Amino acid sequence: MGIVRRQSTYSTIFTYLGFAIGALNTMILFPRFFSTEAFGLTRIMIDFSLFFSALSTMGSLNALYKFNPFYKDFLPKGKNDLPYLTLMANLIGSILFLIAAVGFEPFWEKHFGHGSPLFVTHFRLVIPFTISYTAIMVLEAYCWVIKKTIISNIVKELFYRLTTTLFIFFYIMHWISLETFFVLFSYSYVPAILVLMYVVYQNGGVTLYRTISRATKRLYKKILVFTSYHYTGMLIGVLPRTVDGLLIAGLTDKGLENLAIYSIPVYLASIMDGPYRSMLGITTTLISEAWKNKDMAKIKELYHKTSINLLIIGLLIFGVLMPNIDNLIRFNPEYSLAKAIFIVAGLAKIIDLGMGMNAQILLLSKYWRMDFYSSLLFIFINIILDYFMIRHYGVMGAAYGSAIALIFYNIIRFTYLWWLFKLQPFDRKTLYVLLIAAAAIFITWVIPYLGNLYLDAIVRSLVFTILYLPTVIYFKISEDINAMFKGMLQKILPKSR
């Protein structure tokens, strides 16, 4: 786990720097300087683009992760045509999206016209946003293949948010109009695309070899079957973050305003995903290699360690945010539903993180069809639950629907891995960290309000962190967390002498 710990640590630092900039944009700048409807428009542009960019990949990125180790073994350097085939699949997917976006424009107008008329008038701005995000995913996949996960995470997490902050600043200073801001926002991923293209080019790890190789001739049937089954694979990571917003905007009155309010607690819950996103690139590569080598001990180790590490960090973030939700409501009373939404979304996310890299282990195994069927079931349940719950319970229904679907999906994957491989990620330390976190959250929660929301937030955050982290380290819940702590001490103590 050394390479995972090292690369994940660096990636996590920059991921959370990106989250901090995103929090500045999402929780302070947009609500203060933009109307709720205009803020909601930026949210639905993101949700729409994330969902349809996943479709535009046509399942090809999972095929790249799955089969690239075999291509590397079978072919001489520079003769690997899989990256080129992946690029072509995404190009075709983007063209199909472009045709569908324009051709079905009357459908979008009918679906969103009642609750989100501002989205209808700006609909075509999602086209450059979606295509540019598809390009980001392809370039990120190339970086994963050449194990440049740190730089890809830095660029992906930081550049888009910094670009957005810059455009907001232009608008605040009245250098651009609101309409110009929306146009610039739709191209906000372009700087990140240029940087990742340079990174891939400089490292020379991905060559676009256009001649069909003997590996493709040998594996193409398996690749086509795998890709066709996993056309939904890339949706799983983005569906919980997108279907809610699309349905809220389309089914509720004042859809964009409701979406803007809903996006705040959901963004806070998404912060818990930071370690997972940082760990995903390098861990996916290692799991793929372990399956190729039939190294079940390595897979079991990765499953357990990713589970406990993600759970520890996820609970740390939840424990800092949860007692401070009341301060968010004090900051802006419009966020009165934030506490309930965050509790539901946050608890579901804790369960998801505690399951570790179960999706990647199942996806990259020979039983990957099981992942496909469970993913398809998850998508169906998520959409159906969200649709009916939003119609009956409004914005709160979106939180309930997504949480139930996410928990059910994880139970299915857990059951598959236990049934097929006798793999499960938990031990007594899982229970210990849950008890430690629950006790620390309770103590922090019952502290009386200190009268100043900023002072109160600082005190609650410090109290929980002091109660939680040292206890986790003392009881050696995770050897990776303890190794990181020991490494930090070794760097700090000599300087203090």
pLDDT at 237: 58
What was the pLDDT predicted at 350? Answer: 96
Predicted local distance difference test score (pLDDT) of residue 497 = 44
- Using N-to-C axis directions, what is the helix angle for 126-145 and 60-74, rounded to 10°? 30
CA distance 272 to 324: 15
In a domain, 494, yes or no: no
Query: How many domains does the chain fold into?
Result: 1
Residue 319 located in a structural domain: yes
168 lies in some domain: yes
* Residue 425: predicted pLDDT: 94
Residue 45 lies in a domain: yes
Contact 56, 90 (CB under 8 A): yes
For residue 475, give Cα distances in angstroms to 258, 389, 436, 470.
44, 42, 10, 9
**80 within 8 A of 295, measured Cβ to Cβ:** no
Q: Is residue 67 part of a domain?
A: yes
Quick check: is 50 in a domain? yes
Is residue 493 domain-resident? no
CA distance 443 to 424: 32
Burial class (CB in 10 A: 0-12, 13-18, 19+), 211: exposed
Parts of the chain with a pLDDT under 50: 496-497
pLDDT of residue 61: 83
Q: Residue 343's pLDDT is what?
A: 94
Specify the pTM. 0.77
CB-based contact 43:244 (threshold 8 Å): no
Residue 10's pLDDT is what? 60
Domain range spanning residue 10? 2-487
Residue 277 lies in a domain: yes
